[in-house]
Amino acid sequence: MIRAENVTFDYESMDEEGNVESRKRAVNHVNLEIQSGQFIAVLGHNGSGKSTFAKHINALLTPTEGTLWVEGMNTRDESELWNIRQNAGMVFQNPDNQIIGTIVEEDVGFGPENLGVPTDEIWQRVEESLKAVGMYKYRKHSPNKLSGGQKQRVAIAGVMAMHPRCIVLDEPTAMLDPHGRKSVIETVKKLNKEEGITVILITHYMEEVIEADHVFVMDDGNLVMDGTPREVFSQVEKLKELRLDVPQATLLAYELQKKGFPLRDGILSNEELVEELCQLKLKM
C-alpha cells in the first residue's frame, strides 16, 4: 500500500529576496512499508515529524530527498495527484477545520462531488458512509450542533465517501473527551476490520495503540522503533528515553518485574496482567 524509501523532508524558510534563509529537517531518511489492510499506529514526542510524514502519504508534501509510493504511484508524479488523494484520505486533529457543509449529509457529499462522482452515486455513498460511522440519523443536522466526537465521525465519513483504500488520522482524538475518543476509535477499528481499509493512526494515547498490527515510533525526524505493540512496549526503558508513555498495565508489570516478580515482557492489558499474576500465585 505504502512504501517510503529514504524519505527526507526539510522545511525551508525564505528571506525577503526569496533565498533560503534556514532549513529545518523534519523527516530524516525514513524507510518503511505498510501492507494493505493493516492497522498502523504512529507514536512520537511532539515535533518528532509524525505530521510531516503523514502529509507525504496523500502528497500534501513531497520528499526533499527519497521517494514515497502509494499503491505503486510515486507521490512526485503530478499526473497521479488525484488518484493518490483519492486513495489516501486524511483526517486531522480539529474537526471544526474539516467540516465545511451546513448540513451533515451535504458535508459528506463534498468529497465525492469534487471527484466528479455522478449524483445518484454520491447519495448512495453519503448514506453508506454515514451508516458506517454511526451518524446516519444525524444526516439532516447542522454539524455545529454536534459533539466533538460526532463531528470527527462526520469528517471520517467525508473521507470514506471518497472510497479511499487508506485513511491517515493525525491525532483525531486529541481534542475529544473520553467518550468521543472511544466512539472515534471504535469507528476506525470497524472500518479497518469490516471494510478492509488500511488505517494509519497517529496518536499519543497508548490504549489506542495496543490493538494495532504494527507500531512505528518517530523521534527527531527518525524512525527509531518499529514492531508489534508487544515488541515495542516490552522496551520500557527505551520508550522512557524517548519521553513516551507506556500502557498502564505494561508499566505496572515492568515495576513488578524490577521488584523480582517473574512476569513476562510486553504485557499490554489489565486482563493479561491479572492472568500472569494468577499464574504466579499458582506457582508460589
> What span, in angstroms and rounded, lies between the C-alpha atoms of 259 and 223?
32
- Of 172 and 266, the one with the shorter C-beta distance to Mg ion is 172
In angstroms, give the least distance from the CB of 11 to ligand ADP: 3
3-state secondary structure of 233: helix
CA 200 to chain centre: 4
> What span, in angstroms and rounded, lies between the C-alpha atoms of 221 and 170?
16
Q: Does 52 bind ligand ADP (CB under 6 A)?
A: yes
Q: Does 24 bind ligand ADP (CB under 6 A)?
A: yes
> What span, in angstroms and rounded, lies between the C-alpha atoms of 191 and 194?
5
Question: Looking at the chain, how many residues does it have?
Answer: 284
Q: Which stretch binds Mg ion (CB under 5 A): 37-45, 50-58, 215-223, 236-244?
A: 50-58
Q: Which stretch binds ligand ADP (CB under 6 A): 43-51, 78-86, 135-143, 156-164?
A: 43-51
Closest by CA position to 209, among listed 199, 219, 194: 199
3-state secondary structure of 25: strand
Sheet with 198-202, strands from edge to edge, namely 88-91, 166-170, 198-202, 39-44, 214-219, 222-227
Q: Of Mg ion, ligand ADP, none, which one sits near residue 187, judging by CB under 5 to 8 A according to partner kind?
A: none
Q: Of Mg ion, ligand ADP, none, which one sits near residue 28, judging by CB under 5 to 8 A according to partner kind?
A: none
In angstroms, give the least distance from the CB of 45 to ligand ADP: 7
Out of 28, 40, 41, 51, the residue judged to bind Mg ion by CB under 5 A: 51
Q: Does 48 bind Mg ion (CB under 5 A)?
A: no
Return the C-alpha cell found at 242: 524517548
Closest by CA position to 163, among listed 132, 203, 120: 132
Q: Which stretch binds ligand ADP (CB under 6 A): 50-58, 204-212, 249-257, 258-266?
A: 50-58
Q: Does 192 bind ligand ADP (CB under 6 A)?
A: no
- Of 21 and 255, the one with the shorter C-beta distance to ligand ADP is 21
Q: Does 56 bind ligand ADP (CB under 6 A)?
A: no
Is residue 169 within 8 Å of 42, Cβ to Cβ?
A: no
Is residue 184 within 8 Å of 156, Cβ to Cβ?
A: yes
Encoded one letter per residue, x for contact with Mg ion by CB under 5 A and - for no contact, window 98-137 reads: ----------------------------------------
Interface residues with ligand ADP (CB under 6 A) are 11, 24, 26, 44, 46-52
Interface residues with Mg ion (CB under 5 A) are 51
